[in-house]
Amino acid sequence: MRSWADYSPRNDLLDGRVILVTGATSGIGLAVSRDLVRHGATVVLHGRDAAALENVYNELKELGPEPVAAQLDLERAQGQEYQHLTDLIAERFERLDGLVHNAGILGDLSPIEHYDIGLWQKVMHVNVNAPFILTRCLLPLLHQSKDASILFTTSGVGNVGRAFWGAYCASKFATEGLAQVLADECENTSVRVNYINPGSTRTGMRRKAFPAEDPDTLPAPESITAAYLYLLGPDSAGMSGNRFEARSGKSTRKTVA
């Protein structure tokens, strides 16, 4: 695929699919969740704020299949809370067809020499440990799907180190490593694993990283949802272990030496 402009998903692309999106109450997570519902998916909406989740639930239930709200604080959640979410999905659907790891935090833009140790640990936990725990808990349900897609979120600093990007940069390197390991382990199963770089997008995290930047010069989150629809739907069946660029549609694949 040369560009996502070439991709025109049919209206019923995701009919019957159950997809969990983390960080679904704002930015890219919200835009993706909207389009998933519009194309027939039942979306499990994850967020840490109950009021924000309720607002998104009320909006999305008017667009398609009724979503499910799942409150979970990825910074503080313990094992039993992850298990409760897993049990909720198992009881209602008996399977999971998609998992979008979208939630994440930036931390500070600071040199390693001065990086706050507690903040480093927080960023690594939310961006790496929490997706690992959630994936581990949900894999049995993903294996119950005939075509399950796991999608991790990486970054432009996810495979090239950049000064002052500290824990965020390191966490995205780890995310790509986790995705590659899981893709290799899930080879010859019904579960495929890919990771996507959204690129420069008009989000709260982008504003924090570049406060002097004019947000009106950036593409809106709604402009990149085609990439997510493609990777979560049947049109990308069999694709696994790839790094996708949400802007260009380009993909690369790491090979084991």
Q: Which is more confident, 20 or 207?
A: 20
* 25-56 pLDDT, tens digit each: 999 999 999 999 999 999 999 999 999 999 99
Whole-number pLDDT of residue 59? 97
Domain range list for the chain: 4-249
pLDDT digits (tens, 9 = 90+) for 152-205: 999 988 999 999 999 999 999 999 999 999 999 999 999 999 999 987 666 666
pLDDT at 202: 67
Give the confidence band of 218 by pLDDT, cuts at 50, 70, 90.
low
Angle of helix 79-93 relative to helix 130-142, nearest 10 degrees?
A: 30
Q: Which CATH superfamily is domain 4-249 in?
A: NAD(P)-binding Rossmann-like Domain (3.40.50.720)
How many CA atoms are closer than 13 Å to the CA of 180, on its beta-carbon side? 15
The one catalytic residue in 57, 82, 115, 168 is 168
Is pLDDT of 2 > 70?
no
Sheet containing strand 68-71, strands side by side:
68-71, 42-47, 18-21, 98-101, 148-153, 191-197, 242-245, 251-253
pLDDT band at 7 (very low <50, low <70, confident <90, very high): confident
> Under a CB-based contact definition with an 8 Å cutoff, are residues 44 and 91 in contact?
no
Looking at the predicted structure, is the pLDDT value of residue 3 above 90?
Answer: no
Indicate the SS3 state at residue 106: coil
How would you classify the pairing of strands 148-153 and 242-245? Answer: unpaired
Question: pLDDT tens-digit profile of 59-113?
Answer: 999 999 999 999 999 999 999 999 999 999 999 999 999 999 999 999 999 999 9
- State residue 200's pLDDT score: 63
State residue 255's pLDDT score.
59
Q: What pLDDT shows up at residue 229?
A: 97
CA atoms within 13 A on the CB side of 212: 0
User: pLDDT value at position 53?
Assistant: 97
**Residue 168 catalytic?**
yes
Q: What pLDDT, in 10s, does the model give residues 115-144?
A: 999 999 999 999 999 999 999 999 999 999
Q: What is the pLDDT of residue 214?
A: 73
pLDDT at 210 over 70: no
How far apart CA 87 and CA 93 sit, in angstroms, is 10
pLDDT at residue 249 is higher than 80: no
Q: What's the whole-number mean pLDDT along residues 244-253? A: 80
Q: Would you give the DSSP letter of residue 223? A: G
- Give whole-number Cα distances, 25 to 6, 28, 45, 149, in Å: 28, 9, 8, 21
